């Protein structure tokens, strides 16, 4: 534990005066906020603060935490997978759960401005009624907050079509460690006046400031959505199918995901989800979305005909109705849930050149030689993002020692990134050098020292220990 102050009765009195009824000390209520979604990391915070406005966040930080040297753990929906969203020791938990106002939506530009605590699925439903959609879609959409999505630069299922949050987020409101409210909540698509400060906070995991509001560019709702579920015998065929897909579907391709046969087995065993096609080694979940149903259907039909004729795809099914589309997407979105029923899971989220994407899974299986209960691979082929998951009966230090640093060395050797979209958090912070130079990490440390000189914001996360 770093030498931060501990919460006193005097501190509690102040927080209760600023947040009447919203300074929580009940251990039972704190339980879920102290533990991450995977139940792999647990903190020991004795105080949960639930502000409603950026002004309250400012008071908490400026008038107290920064002055008193009290460490703070910003927390959104607590759906993170690298231990970044929960305390390590007794840091005060600063939750955005009550910050869920939608401030404005411009139907002409498609720009939504809202508080950081808005749940992603709620925003999606709000926009659906207004003929728009959110530019990101995640398996955790029913729980995750948009502020947390931005703080971790969440990628999700449709990055292939709409790009990353670095492009779709137009503005942010951020409270700095000293309580200053940084208003960069622009709603302009073009603003070339000086440094683009908001980019610093996208993906910073709450270590540089607390995101309290977001303005984000939202696409029009597509008139025609279709999902194909396809099977391939080899990963090479899967990649060639992707090449063909991009060439023939072009602008209507919105997602291209994959899972292996071991993922399918776990979905069937633990969640009773059935395979809609015959057994294959690899499966593709592919989505098209466009404005002309007839045009889109013709393009998809031509693509599928070419893929089958050239023996790239061995089996497939297409869904156009909402219920069937959701059923096919569940086979990709619920893999993490299935893994939680399978045992203790070591999770890795890496970016690699697409031709190397599955080789890491194959090499890891060979490297572990049966010591793991299962080694599975799935992820986003469209943006070269592999989710490698290794299961064991229980937490196993010997297995972990065999996995790490092998997985990071392999990734670095193939010029990949050790974190594609999950962030570094607590678990991966000391592996940053496999993806970033020492000069880059040193500059990150200098930025942290500039914006948070006392280091009170989400300590022990993102940056390596020596920083």
- Provide the residue ranges of all domains of the chain, joining segments of one domain with +: 102-217, 224-337, 343-414
Average pLDDT over residues 366-386: 95
Average pLDDT over residues 388-396: 94
Predicted TM-score of the model (pTM) = 0.93
Dihedral sign for Cα 353, 380, 214, 210, please.
negative
Q: How far apart are CA 155 and CA 173, in angstroms?
A: 21
Percent of the chain with pLDDT over 70: 100
Q: Which residue's entry shows tokens 């006392």? A: 454
Average pLDDT over residues 73-95: 96
Same fold, 224-337 and 343-414: yes
Q: How far apart are CA 33 and CA 383, in angstroms?
A: 32
The confidence score (pLDDT) of residue 139 equals 83
pLDDT at 40 over 90: no
**Band (158; pLDDT cuts 50, 70, 90):** confident
Q: What is the pLDDT of residues 414-442, one digit of tens each?
A: 999 999 999 999 999 999 999 999 999 99
The confidence score (pLDDT) of residue 396 equals 93
At residue 127's C-alpha, the angle toward residues 123 and 133, to 5°, is 95
The confidence score (pLDDT) of residue 156 equals 86
The confidence score (pLDDT) of residue 62 equals 93
Q: What is the pLDDT of residues 102-130, one digit of tens each?
A: 999 999 999 999 999 999 999 999 999 99
pLDDT at 239 over 90: yes
**Band (87; pLDDT cuts 50, 70, 90):** very high
224-337: in CATH 1.25.40.10: no
The confidence score (pLDDT) of residue 138 equals 87
pLDDT at 317 over 90: yes
pLDDT at 157 over 90: no
**Band (38; pLDDT cuts 50, 70, 90):** confident
pLDDT at 39 over 90: no
Residue 443, classed as helix, strand or coil, is: helix
The confidence score (pLDDT) of residue 467 equals 83
Average pLDDT over residues 327-338: 94
Task: Name 452's bridge partners.
Answer: none
Residue 172, classed as helix, strand or coil, is: strand
Per-position DSSP letters for 187-204, written without gaps between them: --S---SS--THHHHTTS
Q: How far apart are CA 156 and CA 264, in angstroms?
A: 20
The confidence score (pLDDT) of residue 77 equals 95
Mean pLDDT estimate for the chain: 95
The confidence score (pLDDT) of residue 37 equals 87
Q: What is the dihedral of CA 185, 187, 190, 196, to 10 degrees?
A: 10
- Spatial strand order of the sheet with 169-175 comes to 102-106, 111-115, 210-217, 169-175, 181-184
Residue 266, classed as helix, strand or coil, is: helix
CATH classification (class only), 102-217:
alpha beta
Q: Note the CATH number of domain 343-414.
A: 3.30.70.2740
């Amino acid at each position: 534990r770093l030498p931060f102050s501990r919460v006193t009765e005097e501190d509690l009195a102040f927080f209760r005066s600023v947040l009447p009824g919203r300074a929580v000390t009940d251990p039972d209520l704190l339980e879920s906020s102290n533990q991450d979604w995977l139940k792999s990391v647990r903190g020991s915070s004795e105080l949960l603060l639930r502000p409603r406005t950026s002004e309250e966040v400012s008071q908490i930080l400026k008038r107290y935490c920064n002055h008193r040297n009290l460490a703070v753990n910003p927390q959104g929906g607590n759906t993170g997978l690298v231990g970044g969203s929960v305390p390590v020791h007794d840091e005060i938990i600063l939750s955005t759960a009550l910050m869920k106002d939608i401030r404005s939506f411009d139907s002409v530009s498609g720009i939504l401005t809202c508080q950081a605590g808005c749940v992603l699925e709620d925003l999606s439903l709000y926009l659906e009624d207004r003929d728009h959609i959110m530019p990101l879609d995640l398996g955790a959409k029913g729980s995750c907050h948009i502020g947390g999505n931005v703080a971790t630069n969440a990628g999700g299922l449709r990055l292939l079509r709409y790009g990353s949050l670095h492009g779709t987020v137009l503005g942010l409101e951020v409270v700095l460690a000293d309580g200053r409210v940084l208003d960069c909540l622009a709603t302009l698509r073009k603003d070339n006046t000086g440094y683009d400060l908001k980019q610093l906070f996208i993906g910073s995991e709450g270590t540089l400031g607390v995101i309290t509001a977001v303005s984000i560019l939202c696409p029009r709702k597509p008139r025609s959505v279709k999902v194909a579920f396809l099977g391939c015998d080899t990963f090479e065929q899967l990649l060639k199918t992707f090449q063909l897909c991009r060439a023939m579907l072009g602008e209507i391709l919105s997602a291209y995901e994959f899972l292996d046969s071991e993922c399918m087995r776990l979905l069937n065993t633990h969640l009773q989800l059935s395979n809609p096609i015959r057994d294959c080694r690899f499966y593709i979940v592919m989505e098209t979305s466009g404005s002309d149903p007839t045009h889109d259907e013709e393009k998809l039909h031509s693509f599928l005909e070419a893929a089958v004729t050239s023996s790239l795809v061995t089996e497939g099914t297409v869904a156009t109705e909402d219920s069937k589309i959701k059923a096919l997407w569940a086979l990709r979105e619920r893999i993490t849930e299935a893994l939680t029923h399978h045992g203790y899971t070591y999770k890795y989220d890496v970016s690699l050149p697409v031709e190397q994407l599955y080789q890491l899974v194959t090499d890891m299986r060979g490297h572990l030689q049966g010591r793991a209960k299962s080694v599975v691979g799935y992820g986003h082929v469209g943006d070269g993002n592999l989710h490698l998951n290794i299961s064991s009966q229980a937490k196993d230090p010997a297995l972990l020692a065999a996995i790490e640093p092998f997985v990071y060395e392999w990734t670095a050797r193939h010029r990949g990134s050790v974190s594609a979209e999950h962030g570094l958090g607590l678990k991966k912070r000391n592996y940053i050098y496999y993806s970033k130079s020492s000069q880059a990490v040193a500059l990150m440390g200098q930025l942290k020292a500039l914006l948070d000189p006392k280091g009170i914001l989400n300590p022990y996360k993102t940056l390596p220990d020596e920083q």
